[in-house]
Amino acid sequence: MDFKTRRIRYKKNDSIIKKIWRKGIRGIKSIFALITGNKKKRKPTGLIVGIIVIIVLFFYGCSSIVSRIGLINVIGIFGEELMTDTYGNTNVLLLGTGGEGHDGADLTDTIIVASIDQSNKLVPMLSIPRDFYVNVDEIGGGVRINRVFEMGKYKYGTEKGIELVEQTVEEITDIDIHYHVLINFSGFKEIVDSLDGVEVYVDEAIYDPYYPLDGTIQYQTFSLDTGLQHLDGETALKYVRSRKTTSDFDRSKRQQKLLFAIKEKAMSKNILLNPGKIKDLYYSVNDNIETNFSIRHIIELAKISQDFSRENIVSRVITDDPTSCGGFLYVPERDFFGGAFVLIPIGNDYDFIHQYVDLIFHYPEINKNTMQFQVLNGTKTAGLAGETKAMLDRLCFDVVRYGNAQSQDIETTSIFYKAPATTEEETEKTPEALYFLQQLIPGNISTEIPALYLEEPYKSEANIILELGKDYAQSKPEDIFYQYYPSATPSSSDEETSEQEAPSTQTETSDES
């Protein structure tokens, strides 16, 4: 990684302005007039501000900006092609810090990776928890990931600090990071306030009597009721920082949710056509953001963003719950880490996380379409369907039913799917999810579903039926997750297999015989 970190700021002699001028456009003032709808001459901050907002809002529905200002043809001339990986995706690392005047000013308590998939018009996002424990030789070994930038900056400077975070995230995810955006609390609050606040629907009430009182060692109480709430900058910051009475994983979800809210407000007509608001946004980020995006890269983002919508944003987190989506971490004994609370990947390596990231970043059809699964145990191996369901749950597949198959003497595993297509061409196309599934559970893919599975008690909303055979039971790897979380092991109280027993009709419960 040899990306130069630069601070985005307006310069009168910026080379891109010279290039625009030379191309015969009437000048930056005219472009600003297009953006604001005002034909009077104004300072040439509008275009740059609009572009910066695209970075900060991180591709959330940026098409609204582009379509309204009508500059696609203009910016198309000057954009610079974005770097991509072998899948054609552009991967961006978003970091949030406290900034000057806050405790832990350089701790990156927000770490989000977004992958811009231009071909499929998708932006899957992944939040990495701040307590994820990593080893970074350049800063002396093991440390929680939120301290990598802080220690790297102290030892080597800002650019190297960001580079070390990039390298660490690349190791965790097994993807290339092409660009980064780092923003601090001050910039965050000012952006929200410049928008006159944002509206967020609070799913669960928050009561946190341990919210840090900046500049002191004391606490203050932060509370927020359920329902639709209007948040100013200070309250919005507390909403995304609070964690003492919830969890870091809840906070990651709130951070992604608030980004949506900022996008919605910034894209509203009143904001886009208000020169004063645009100027406020510009000054909010001017001194509070670090990025290796060039101006021309940002212009290219504005150009391609017209094809993306909110529905194409996929949000994921990595958690320590092995029964839930993204549950690939565990909490080790604190004595081994100086009494600190840290999170370690299951298996003590990144193999499961690599598999998870590969699925959400590189199998776009899974993100675009709803796949619902029914898992059936066709063997005498007790708990096989339950273990398989847990594995699929961790990968964020939707398992709507699991239990016994029509027989417990099935030799070969089969993957049946109900083709929803209306044309022969679509019917013949096998969903990508099934090819990914074959890597985990080798089996024959077929649309010829046994008639019995289309009737009660097997009838369900599932469009994929996974019938596990003896071949899978004999060759499947040991499920090591329950070595770390024994209490999460599927119930075995009713797992004495009997060929004569009829299958249970329960759904979303362990009903294996």
Top-confidence residue, 74 or 45: 74
Phi, psi values for residue 199, rounded to 5°: -105, 130
Look-up: residue for tokens 């009182």? 213
What is the pLDDT, as a whole number, of residue 152?
95
Q: Is the pLDDT of residue 410 over 80?
A: yes
Q: Tell me: the pLDDT tens digits for 290-308?
A: 888 776 777 677 667 666 6
Distant-in-sequence contacts of 170-173, Cβ < 8 A, 24+ apart? 171/134, 171/350, 172/128, 172/132, 172/134, 172/350, 172/353, 173/113, 173/126, 173/350, 173/353, 173/354, 173/357
Least confident of 182-196, 241-255, 357-371: 241-255
Rounded CA-CA distance 464/120 in Å is: 23
What is the band of 486 on the pLDDT scale with cuts at 50, 70, 90? Answer: low
Rounded CA-CA distance 175/259 in Å is: 23
Element (H, E) at 1: none
Q: What is the mean pLDDT of residues 304-322?
A: 77
Calculate the dihedral angle through the C-alpha atoms of 306, 307, 309, 315, rounding to the nearest 10 degrees. -110
Q: Is the pLDDT of residue 172 over 80?
A: yes
Top-confidence residue, 493 or 82: 82
What is the pLDDT, as a whole number, of residue 291?
82
Rounded CA-CA distance 44/17 in Å is: 10
Q: What is the mean pLDDT of residues 172-197?
A: 85
Element (H, E) at 311: none
Helix (H, G, I), strand (E, B) or coil at 175: coil
Least confident of 127-141, 203-217, 392-406, 435-449: 203-217
What is the pLDDT, as a whole number, of residue 500?
31
Rounded CA-CA distance 335/22 in Å is: 65
Q: What is the mean pLDDT of residues 364-385?
A: 87
Q: Is the pLDDT of residue 320 over 80?
A: yes
Contact 511, 403 (CB under 8 A): yes
Q: What is the mean pLDDT of residues 222-251?
A: 81
Helices assigned H by DSSP within 132-194: 148-156, 158-173, 185-194
Least confident of 178-182, 416-420, 507-511: 507-511
Q: Is the pLDDT of residue 91 over 90?
A: yes
Q: Is the pLDDT of residue 197 over 70?
A: yes
**Neighbouring C-beta atoms of residue 352, cutoff 10 Å:** 20
Look-up: residue for tokens 């700021």? 9
Q: Tell me: the pLDDT tens digits for 33-49?
A: 433 344 433 332 333 33
- pTM of this prediction? 0.72
What is the pLDDT, as a whole number, of residue 195?
79
What is the pLDDT, as a whole number, of residue 12?
39
Angle at 73 between CA 69 and CA 75, to 5 degrees: 75
Contact 196, 266 (CB under 8 A): no
Residues 6+ apart with CB under 8 A from 149: 95, 97, 106, 107, 108, 161, 162, 164, 165, 182
Residues 6+ apart with CB under 8 A from 202: 224, 225, 226, 227, 228, 229, 239
Rounded CA-CA distance 395/26 in Å is: 52
- Using alpha carbons, list the distances in angstroms from residue 124 to 270, 292, 315, 316: 29, 21, 6, 8
Q: Is the pLDDT of residue 405 over 90?
A: yes
What is the pLDDT, as a whole number, of residue 16?
40
Top-confidence residue, 489 or 109: 109
Quote the percentage of the chain above a pLDDT of 90: 33
Question: In this structure, what token pair is assigned to residue 283?
Answer: 């000054």
Q: What is the mean pLDDT of residues 341-368?
A: 90
**Neighbouring C-beta atoms of residue 203, cutoff 10 Å:** 11
Contact 241, 254 (CB under 8 A): no
Contact 134, 353 (CB under 8 A): no
Rounded CA-CA distance 44/32 in Å is: 6
Amino acid at 470: K
Closest by CA position to 364, among listed 399, 312, 324, 325: 312
Top-confidence residue, 323 or 456: 456
Domains of the chain: 1-317 (3.40.630.190), 369-488 (3.30.70.2390)
The DSSP code sequence of 224-236 is: E-SEEEEE-HHHH
Q: Is the pLDDT of residue 248 over 90?
A: no
Most confident of 197-201, 203-207, 373-377: 373-377
What is the pLDDT, as a whole number, of residue 295?
67
What is the band of 256 on the pLDDT scale with cuts at 50, 70, 90? Answer: low
Mean pLDDT of the chain: 75
Top-confidence residue, 261 or 353: 353
Rounded CA-CA distance 349/326 in Å is: 15
Q: Is the pLDDT of residue 8 over 60?
A: no
- Using alpha carbons, list the distances in angstroms from residue 42 to 30, 45, 46, 279: 9, 8, 9, 11
What is the band of 496 on the pLDDT scale with cuts at 50, 70, 90? Answer: very low
What is the pLDDT, as a whole number, of residue 236?
86
Least confident of 40-54, 104-118, 215-229, 427-441: 40-54
Quote the percentage of the chain above a pLDDT of 70: 66
Question: In this structure, what token pair is assigned to residue 480?
Answer: 């090591």
Helices assigned H by DSSP within 267-403: 269-272, 275-286, 295-304, 351-362, 364-368, 384-394
Q: Tell me: the pLDDT tens digits for 133-168?
A: 999 999 988 999 999 999 999 999 999 999 999 999
What is the pLDDT, as a whole number, of residue 242?
78
Top-confidence residue, 150 or 312: 150
What is the pLDDT, as a whole number, of residue 471?
96
Q: Is the pLDDT of residue 226 over 50?
A: yes
